[in-house]
Structure 1
Amino acid sequence: MDCFQTVSRLKGSLCHQLLFIIIWLSSIQELVALQTPLEPTQIPSMSELASAPHTQLFDPIEISPAVIPHYPNPGEPLPPMFPTFPTRYEPVLTGKCPVNFSLISSLMDKTASDCSQPFAALVGNVICCPQLSSLLHIFQGFYSINSDKLVLQDAVANYCFTDIISILASRGANSTIPTLCSVKSLNLTGGSCPVNDVATFEKTVNTSKLLEACSTVDPLKECCRPVCQPAIMDAALQISGRQLTVNEYKNMEGELNHIDSLNDCKRVVYSYLSRKLTSDAANTAFRILSACKVNKVCPLSFKQPSEVIKACRNVAAPSPSCCSSLNTYVAGVQKQMLITNRQAIICATVFGSMLRKGGVMTNIYELCDVDLKDFSIQAYGQQGCLLRSLPADMIFDNATGFSFTCDLSDNIAAPWPSSSSISSVSLCAPEMSLPALPKSETLKNHGCGGGELELLVPIFSFFVLSTLLY
């Protein structure tokens, strides 16, 4: 009779108890993190990690500002995790943008929330800018829904863009988001794309294929096995008049005018999709496509880590001076922005490559207990917050202010690169894996079937780590 049959028949058996102990330990870990108070002198900061959709056993931690003590110094800049409440007011509009903005009010509210003060700069790369870009795509299609045009004329685009930013600011958004996200009124126009009307678009593009590929975008498959992205690129290439493959497009070095034209045509494709999909479906699809893009690179800036290299070059065992220098450096990186779990893996690899290039051969991440969450914003001054690689939003509550959902509270070790060359990190390769979760020595029990029980911990770890790939 095998181990699982024994567990089902013997309620008090060792296997049964171990199963509940494992689940109980994971719950206690989250509870302790939520009860950790914020020290008055500590200002939380930001960074990254690697995680993904939660399972039934591992729900994401809700970082609610309601539990943070009253901030004692109102005259100073607010810590990024402090609850804030936007001041809403009636915006002053140009009166020259012929659009009833109330019809897309919920989308405007979502964007204003995602780009709220004072969080916009901290979540710009992952939350604010992808949502603002999606709003502009949807507005472009929404504006021209009663005409044959897929774009706005330059003058009208300028008025409408100004009104959009004014409305967002009146609902609590940061008024500097055009600069933060590098968007402008030209994003609502056709730019240099030669096709800007529906009739020509539908004659040139296989719209049935495009809509089939992008009507429903799978958030767990699109980034690694894309369906919608190549369909959009193919349509953009067709209306641009360029007979290129996607690979040829990537190799078009020095042909900036053609690249600009293709990017302009991609916006026209987005506009067409916005006309055909509901605003919610379009927003979901566009946000997933943005997530695929932002999760491919590390958005953090790393200054030359000369002090870390000097302190850690020749260490082979835990060194107080090395670890102190490393922790100080990482603490500075944390203050830049909030990033996703996938970005955290890439950032840790990039930084590790810089250290190896400087002569640090030993895995000092392991020696100094540097985890992926150590690159992230510090909630309550203790717990690292890492966003899932899937699209995330700021959450506003009238009682607690703004908050956002963090993912993965386990101490996943930061990956140490195998060489000093900064090669691209693929999180889609079948062989890609993360370091194993720390295992307690008490779990190494050989009762109840011997070798069968030994598989319990690796299998349990697999269910946790498998979520990190998406």
Structure 2
Amino acid sequence: MGFSQDANFYRGSLCCQLILFFIWLPTFQYVTAREIHADHRRISTLVELAKEPASGESGLFDPIEISPAVLPKFPYPTESLPPMYPTFPTRYEPVLTGKCPVNFSHSGISSILDKTASDCSGPLAALVGNVICCPQLSSLIHIFQGYFSMKSDHLVLPNAVADHCFSDIISILASRGANSTIPRLCSIKSSNFTGGSCPVKDDSTFEKTVNSSKLLEACSTVDPLKECCRPVCQPAIMDAALQISGRQMMINNNENMAGEVNHTDYLNDCKSVVYSYLSKKLSFEAANTAFRILSACKVNKVCPLTFKEPTEVINACWNVAAPSPSCCSSLNTYITGIQKQMLITNKQAIICATLFGSMLRGGGVMTNIYELCDVDLKDFSIQAYGQQGCLLRSLPGDVIFDNSSGFSFTCDLSDNIAAPWPSSSSSFASMSLCAPEMSLPALPTSSQTLKNNGCNSGGVGLLLLIFSFFIFSTLLY
């Protein structure tokens, strides 16, 4: 982000290409990962973060912190200055119903409320809702269920107080800077507290029905690197939910359950009870960490972006075999629309790029136009002043608030990693990020390197270009 001065110095220089070639050549057989520190003085902010969207382990480089304390002056003085964000929200005393019998000032629950308010702060909530805000809000709901029932045999809130407690939680979050519309944004309501139609809602029955020791062993410590591909906690939660739902016997007997329209909701209600039980047995921090990792496993399996029918791109790129101005212009225009939606993770970007590429192949575009038009993974997320995209980590992350610098969050994979082009229009259906061979796109060949190393493009410094060759040897984490 914001390396335009270095890039302009080396732009168009044959010498630049030769320097890069001789630096790269001796490292071809011995690629070594190096840690370098980002120059924070050159980091830009995101464009128009205050706007609502149109619709919802790092590599070699240190994480890039998007924070107003390190922002340079706006690089395009002829254009209007976008709204400055992050901001410093005004905190105030919330007006509570007085009908929720909970001590919200308890250090544990107050800390989780603070974290949720930060992750769902103001207009930023809509941009990070899918990855940061909603997973944290969902975790708060589960933890509050367990906290509410800590001194009783219950695992859910009574219907009589669920609405009041939910209203108080949203009021407290708003008073600490959170967006007041997050219940609608995250599709969470007061009924999520009550256990719904699940027949087991108390500790004693739960422990008679479920092997609670096995459940706690599986979920007390959740491995963020293994859980998504070799799950331990997730199947334990599902098994417990099936048991307390009373349907495990029916499944074991292979009975047909297709006619049960509400089975999914029924099972989700029981999973909510299982989460509540875990919240009562684990510390606040352990429960929150576990729930966020489980959410990350879920959100990183799906592309959250909305793709309209790419008819114009298909028409412009139908038979291209070489870089085409009309094709690339149409593709860039389409992707610019995508960039206004939300911030996504690096894994989501791979899925989104594959999904969109499959749509194009299904329409008859057989050539890898991502390569022809230099489309990168970062192009599928929010852009910073039109220069650099920000991809969030696939591991759980938080929005951080600092009294001196405001809000910030961590970007990952900010280098020019080529977007993967699907091998067929059905590639997306069979895609798995857990396949042994699945990592980042392959290291470019020497000819591709000289073509796409960025010497002739603005916004990237020579040092970043040199190290971009090595980032391909790392995994997403």
* CA distance in structure 2 between the aligned counterparts of 1:248 and 1:353, rounded to whole angstroms: 40
Is 2:434 aligned against 1:428? yes
After TM superposition, give the deviation of residue 465 of structure 1 in Å.
4.0
After TM superposition, give the deviation of residue 306 of structure 1 in Å.
0.9
Instruction: Tell me what 1:89 maps to.
Output: 92
From 46, 53, 58, the counterpart of 1:54: 58
TM-score after normalising by structure 1: 0.83
From 277, 292, 295, the counterpart of 1:290: 295
Question: Quick one: which amino acid aligns to residue 467 of structure 1?
Answer: L
* CA distance in structure 2 between the aligned counterparts of 1:371 and 1:252, rounded to whole angstroms: 44
| Cα pair 2:44 2:66 within 8 Å, conserved | no
After TM superposition, give the deviation of residue 409 of structure 1 in Å.
2.2
SS in 2 for 1:415: coil
Greater relative contact order: 1 or 2 (C-alpha under 8 angstroms, separation 6 or more)?
A: 1
| Cα pair 2:383 2:390 within 8 Å, conserved | yes
From 333, 337, 348, the counterpart of 1:332: 337
TM-score after normalising by structure 2: 0.82
The 1:36–1:159 alpha-carbon spacing in structure 2 relative to 1, beyond 3 Å, is closer
Question: Quick one: which amino acid aligns to residue 299 of structure 1?
Answer: P
Structure 2's unaligned 5+ residue stretches are 1-22, 451-467
Is 2:101 aligned against 1:98? yes
Instruction: Tell me what 1:412 maps to.
Output: 417
The 1:238–1:262 alpha-carbon spacing in structure 2 relative to 1, beyond 3 Å, is same
Q: Identify which range, 255-264 or 342-351, moves more after superposition.
A: 255-264
Instruction: Tell me what 1:453 maps to.
Output: none
Structure 1's unaligned 5+ residue stretches are 1-13, 48-52, 445-459
Is 2:214 aligned against 1:241? no
Is 2:285 aligned against 1:280? yes
Instruction: Tell me what 2:408 maps to.
Output: 403
Aligned runs of 1:4-403 on 2, under 5 Å?
27=36, 30-31=38-39, 35=42, 43=48, 53-54=57-58, 57-68=60-71, 79=83, 82-103=85-106, 104-243=109-248, 253-403=258-408
How far does the alpha carbon of each residue in 1:215-274 deviate from its partner, in whole angstroms, 9 at most, with x for none? 00000000000000000000000000002699999x954523222111100000000000
* CA distance in structure 1 between the aligned counterparts of 2:364 and 2:157, rounded to whole angstroms: 55
| Cα pair 1:356 1:420 within 8 Å, conserved | yes
* CA distance in structure 2 between the aligned counterparts of 1:34 and 1:331, rounded to whole angstroms: 27
| Cα pair 1:65 1:401 within 8 Å, conserved | yes
After TM superposition, give the deviation of residue 410 of structure 1 in Å.
2.1
* CA distance in structure 2 between the aligned counterparts of 1:248 and 1:26, rounded to whole angstroms: 55
* CA distance in structure 1 between the aligned counterparts of 2:442 and 2:280, rounded to whole angstroms: 46
The CA RMSD measured in Å over matched residues stands at 3.3
* CA distance in structure 1 between the aligned counterparts of 2:435 and 2:45, rounded to whole angstroms: 39
The 1:17–1:399 alpha-carbon spacing in structure 2 relative to 1, beyond 3 Å, is farther
| Cα pair 2:162 2:191 within 8 Å, conserved | yes
The 1:37–1:193 alpha-carbon spacing in structure 2 relative to 1, beyond 3 Å, is closer
| Cα pair 1:66 1:83 within 8 Å, conserved | no
- May I ask how many residue pairs the two structures share in their alignment? 426
How far does the alpha carbon of each residue in 1:159-196 deviate from its partner, in whole angstroms, 9 at most, with x for none? 00000000000000000000000000000001100000
